[in-house]
């Protein structure tokens, strides 16, 4: 039996300590109401007891499907203290997406936003009758989680008995087969991410953070550093430039985390020139590379407040970063970098034989250390490929400059990152090929000033069909209906044939290169 002598505090221990420390300080603002740390602590206890009353306990596989509302945070803290294994479902996902994850992750309990996802919960229950359904409010298909929680008296919070290698989350990312892969993330991963954030990231004091993305996803990466700092979450129900500027001005927001498309939207808004952003000390950005020109404009306008982070689901968020002072307008080429690797992880550029490349050469960005996942759920071959040679292979090709800054110059994987959303071409291709007019299709990412990359479909039509605006709209709508608007092609090109590799496979690199000839890198 392992001795507890060297046990380290983990994510749930941090939550308990933080919620107990700050008491009457504001913790969460959403929909016009501020909840204190004491209120979040009490509600966490009530929701934890409600979970247990419905048989949800240590190791239960629990999924969350909700738009932004306060209960997303308190359900997260309750689920962590109940030692559940948590899987967030994206609120913009389709029924088929959600159903696949529910089945693959072996979800036992679905927590859902009753105001927006009762029908989706009903559809998922029909496919998976074993699901325990806990709704934020009355719903007619499962328990009213909030009413159930109201029936319990708050109790002191106690951290569960969990170990670093116990599973904490299963978060889904795309796969080469077209099906998402469940990334197995232990408590070790989240503890490692937290200590790197607290050591390396430039959080302001006081910490008032605007949450502009789905709280079900953002809270996982931010709850520990914000709570440890005694900070407060100011959550937008949905991002708009007007709403963001209002929030910053009214509450003197000091930090936020955005994807590049959000900055571009703000820059195109009339209030960009007039909004009072004087309280903002740090804007964290990542998920897709920022346009260096637009970044330079924002720094000139708002000052040196930008902090870039780089990672991926398999080693989340904190592999490398570029601090505020490193955004040097005198070196504009550096604004295309994703910063320097953190000292807490091994990061190297490897060739196809897993050997470190020479100085100035490009290679695949690989990493090892406490932040790395355990593997993909039930996918031993893909796990072996991703972790070959005892390195995590990110799929990004990078190079270092003479100052140690890392630049992503290409991508070995086919994923398209558009406005911070990950789009996996095979999934879109599979939808498009269901249309009777489509013979072959290749989906790629192409440069886009607003979104970084835009989804483009290159289509070979079946004989007897002709390109038309009506057909283009029909194909775009087909993908919107099946996968959501963010995955629909922004444009469709029609060609007579797709180029092939020497072994007869469609040559995606050759197709992509036609659209990137005027750029200095092959991703944006």
Q: Identify the CA nearest to 187 among candidates 171, 202, 169.
A: 169
Residues 6+ apart with CB under 8 A from 374: 165, 167, 184, 185, 186
- DSSP one-letter code for 500: B
- DSSP one-letter code for 140: S
Q: Range with the lowest mean pLDDT among 54-68, 202-216, 274-288, 406-420?
A: 406-420
Q: In the prediction, which pLDDT does 293 show? A: 80
Share of the chain above pLDDT 70, in %: 96
Q: In the prediction, which pLDDT does 501 show? A: 60
Other beta carbons within 10 angstroms of residue 310's beta carbon come to: 27
Residues 6+ apart with CB under 8 A from 106: 61
Q: Do domains 9-190 and 239-411 have the same CATH topology?
A: yes
Q: For residue 341, list its beta bridge partners.
A: 320
Sheet with strand 438-448: strands edge to edge: 438-448, 452-461, 491-494
Position 421 confidence tier, pLDDT thresholds 50, 70, 90 = confident
Rounded to whole angstroms, the Cα distance separating 73 from 215 reads: 7
Dihedral of alpha carbons 142, 123, 419, 423, sign: positive
How many residues comprise the chain? 524
Instruction: Report the SS3 class of residue 365.
Output: strand
Q: Range with the lowest mean pLDDT among 22-31, 53-62, 431-440?
A: 431-440
| Model confidence at 524: pLDDT above 50 | no
Q: What is the pLDDT of residues 197-254, one digit of tens each?
A: 999 999 999 999 999 988 888 778 899 999 999 999 999 998 999 999 999 999 999 9
Q: In the prediction, which pLDDT does 187 show? A: 97
pTM: 0.85
Position 346 confidence tier, pLDDT thresholds 50, 70, 90 = very high
Give the HSE-up count for residue 236: Cα atoms under 13 Å, Cβ half-sphere: 21
Q: In the prediction, which pLDDT does 248 show? A: 98
Q: Between 65 and 179, whose confidence is greater?
A: 65
Rounded to whole angstroms, the Cα distance separating 184 from 171 reads: 7
CA 24 to chain centre: 31
Q: In the prediction, which pLDDT does 88 show? A: 95
Residue spans of the domains in the chain: they are 9-190, 239-411, 416-513
Q: What is the pLDDT of residues 96-107, one digit of tens each?
A: 989 999 999 999
Continuous H helices in 89-164: 95-104, 114-127, 145-150
What value, to the nearest 5°, has the Cα angle with vertex 50 and ends 44 and 52?
A: 105
Rounded to whole angstroms, the Cα distance separating 148 from 133 reads: 12
Q: In the prediction, which pLDDT does 377 show? A: 97
Q: In the prediction, which pLDDT does 182 show? A: 96
Contact (CB, 8 A) for 367 and 394: yes
In this structure, which topology does domain 9-190 adopt according to CATH? Rossmann fold (3.40.50)
Pairing mode of beta strands 392-400, 363-368: antiparallel
Q: In the prediction, which pLDDT does 494 show? A: 96
DSSP symbols for 370-432: TTS--EETT-HHHHHHHTGGGSEEEEEEEEE-TTS-EEEEEESS--EEETTEEE-HHHHHHHH
Residues 6+ apart with CB under 8 A from 454: 418, 445, 446, 447, 448, 490, 491
Continuous H helices in 144-209: 145-150, 187-200
Top CATH class of 416-513 equals alpha beta
Pairing mode of beta strands 363-368, 255-258: unpaired
Share of the chain above pLDDT 90, in %: 71
| Model confidence at 167: pLDDT above 60 | yes
Q: Identify the CA nearest to 454 among candidates 499, 488, 412.
A: 488
Contact (CB, 8 A) for 228 and 84: no
Other beta carbons within 10 angstroms of residue 265's beta carbon come to: 17
| Model confidence at 288: pLDDT above 80 | no
Q: In the prediction, which pLDDT does 176 show? A: 41
Q: In the prediction, which pLDDT does 175 show? A: 44
| Model confidence at 50: pLDDT above 60 | yes
| 434 CB-contact burial (10 Å; exposed 0-12 / middle 13-18 / buried 19+) | exposed
* Mean pLDDT across 335-342: 94
CATH number of 239-411: 3.40.50.12780
Q: What is the pLDDT of residues 136-154, one digit of tens each?
A: 999 999 999 999 999 999 9
Other beta carbons within 10 angstroms of residue 4's beta carbon come to: 8
Continuous H helices in 201-291: 215-228, 241-251, 260-267
Q: In the prediction, which pLDDT does 523 show? A: 53
Residue 374, Ramachandran bin (φ over 0: left; ψ between -120 and 50: alpha; else beta)? alpha
| Model confidence at 271: pLDDT above 60 | yes
Mean pLDDT, the chain, rounded, equals 91
């Amino acid at each position: 039996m392992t001795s507890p002598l060297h046990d380290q505090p983990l994510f749930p221990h941090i939550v308990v300590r933080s919620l107990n420390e700050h008491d009457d300080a504001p913790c969460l603002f959403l929909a016009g109401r501020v909840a204190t740390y004491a209120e979040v602590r009490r509600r966490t206890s009530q929701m934890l007891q409600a979970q247990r009353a419905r048989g949800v306990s240590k190791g239960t596989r629990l999924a969350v499907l909700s738009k932004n509302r306060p209960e997303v945070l308190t359900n997260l803290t309750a689920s962590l203290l109940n030692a559940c294994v948590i899987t967030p479902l994206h609120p913009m996902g389709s029924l088929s997406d959600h159903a696949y994850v529910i089945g693959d992750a072996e979800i036992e309990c679905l927590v859902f936003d009753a105001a927006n996802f009762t029908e989706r919960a009903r559809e998922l229950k029909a496919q998976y009758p074993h699901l325990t359904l806990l709704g934020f409010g009355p719903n007619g298909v499962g328990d009213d989680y909030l009413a159930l929680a109201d029936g319990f008296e708050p109790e002191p919070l106690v951290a569960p008995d969990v170990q670093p290698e116990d599973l904490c989350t299963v978060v889904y990312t795309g796969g080469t087969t077209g099906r998402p892969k469940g990334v197995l993330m232990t408590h070790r991963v989240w503890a490692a991410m937290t200590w790197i954030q607290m050591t390396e990231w430039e959080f302001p004091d006081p910490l008032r953070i605007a949450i502009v993305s789905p709280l079900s996803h953002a809270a996982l990466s931010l709850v520990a550093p914000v709570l440890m700092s005694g900070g407060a979450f100011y959550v937008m129900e949905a991002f708009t430039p007007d709403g963001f500027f209002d929030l910053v001005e009214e509450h003197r927001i000091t930090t936020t985390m955005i994807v590049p498309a959000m900055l571009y939207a703000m820059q195109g808004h009339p209030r960009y020139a007039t909004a009072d952003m004087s309280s903002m000390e740090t804007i964290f950005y990542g998920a897709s590379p920022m346009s260096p020109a637009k970044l330079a404009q924002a720094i000139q306008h708002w000052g040196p407040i930008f902090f870039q982070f780089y990672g991926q689901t398999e080693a989340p968020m904190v592999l490398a970063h570029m601090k505020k002072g490193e955004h040097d307008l005198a070196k504009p080429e550096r604004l295309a970098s994703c910063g320097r690797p953190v000292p807490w992880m091994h990061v190297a550029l490897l060739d196809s034989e897993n050997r470190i490349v020479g100085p100035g050469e490009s290679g695949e960005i690989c990493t090892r250390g406490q932040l790395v996942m355990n593997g993909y759920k039930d996918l031993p071959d893909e796990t072996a490929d991703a972790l070959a040679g005892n390195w995590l292979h990110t799929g990004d090709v990078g190079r270092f400059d003479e100052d140690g800054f890392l630049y992503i110059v290409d991508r070995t994987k086919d994923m398209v990152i558009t406005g911070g959303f990950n789009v996996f071409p095979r999934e879109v291709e599979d939808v498009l090929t269901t249309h009777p007019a489509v013979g072959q299709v290749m989906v790629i990412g192409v440069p886009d000033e607003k979104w970084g990359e835009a989804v483009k479909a290159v289509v070979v039509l079946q004989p007897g069909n002709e390109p038309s605006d009506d057909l283009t709209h029909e194909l775009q709508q087909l993908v919107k209906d099946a996968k959501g608007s963010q995955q629909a092609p922004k444009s469709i090109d029609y060609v007579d044939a797709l180029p092939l590799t020497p072994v007869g496979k469609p040559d995606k690199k050759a197709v992509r290169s036609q659209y990137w000839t005027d750029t200095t890198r092959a991703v944006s």
